[in-house]
Structure 1
């Protein structure tokens, strides 16, 4: 018989091999605004469970169309709550799996320090040429941006200066590159370790637009996938929520 230390090492090796054999993979469609936190969550999820999450980032509206055309996603992390609800009603998603994993915050942001004041008055004062927003037909943050301009009575004045990103990721790139001096982006895109990057920003009051509730849903094709089920649970864990909060989301 092997001495105890060797027996223990052999037992651990068997356990690790068994865990590897049981590990599964799930393809996850992730709203662009949630890119940074989801990358961290996926890494921690793999470390803690052995399962792998294959991430694709893009516009929620495009993911909806792709899912209907048979794209092999197992989970949708949407930028809104209406798309997952629609998928559930159409039989593409598991209705009782749906939950709000984060509530987003809209921010008017510029890479130029001192350009944006803490009330967003720069929108009235001018001194800039272009403002980036996400396509409101595809991106909830784009719709929230238009609602904000409506609330301020500035839609007509600002519209000629708009440059439109396909999704919130591209919108951020327009602003970060300086091609647009201002951008309505997700707060999560300009935060690091709980603080806004060095720049200038105005966090838009939530009262100026509809709540940006971001829902997750398990897609019907993955209802028996252990990795998909595990990730849906993991997103509601304290570890995941700590990461989500660090990027400026609320619940």
Structure 2
């Protein structure tokens, strides 16, 4: 099975992202930074925060569902806040989503918050609430596979280890442990918003000890659309049955300010 992890960047490179996903057709897509605006007044809205005024696709969730008609989507909202259509505020859900090929059997799953709780009255101050999703699926050809992803909290001070990140990692590990079974394949991924060597990766090691971005020699996971010097944010950690699996960080085409991470579990 092909597992892809990607921060969608609010769909800002919509056409390129949708074209790549439709061509790649991952069996399981772990998508972070997903916008969902039911009955949106326009296809594009604006996100305003800390002096930024950024275009966002109004319904990334639906855009990707249409690009992957053979998948079902599990949406995990973290907050409901305002995007803007001109001077008109538009209530919008924001979170992550997992797209799973329809002929895969979902045996078990867990969804929950690794930081904060659902915020129905605005996105809130940073560090904002973060959610995660873990799913265990059965494929007749490969057997069982568990995949878990999260969008790690953003700290305005940086990507260093903090007590909140330690708690977040502990909650994520507990969620994963509630889904996996001994000896089966496991992939843990997402935009963790941390640096290589982070405590978060050490805390994930009991369930997924092999982190593939750093150990396979990749020099980062950010594209040219990201202007800061630090280029690491996204990670793919696996357990023993997948430690030698094919893996790549896709740099071309650029479909976000994050690179897609692609794991082949076969």
TM range (shorter): under 0.3
Whose RCO is larger (CA < 8 A, sep 6+)? Answer: 1
**TM-score, normalised on structure 2?**
0.26
**TM-score, normalised on structure 1?**
0.27
Bigger proportion of residues as helix: 1
Question: Which has the greater radius of gyration?
Answer: 1
Bigger proportion of residues as strand: 2
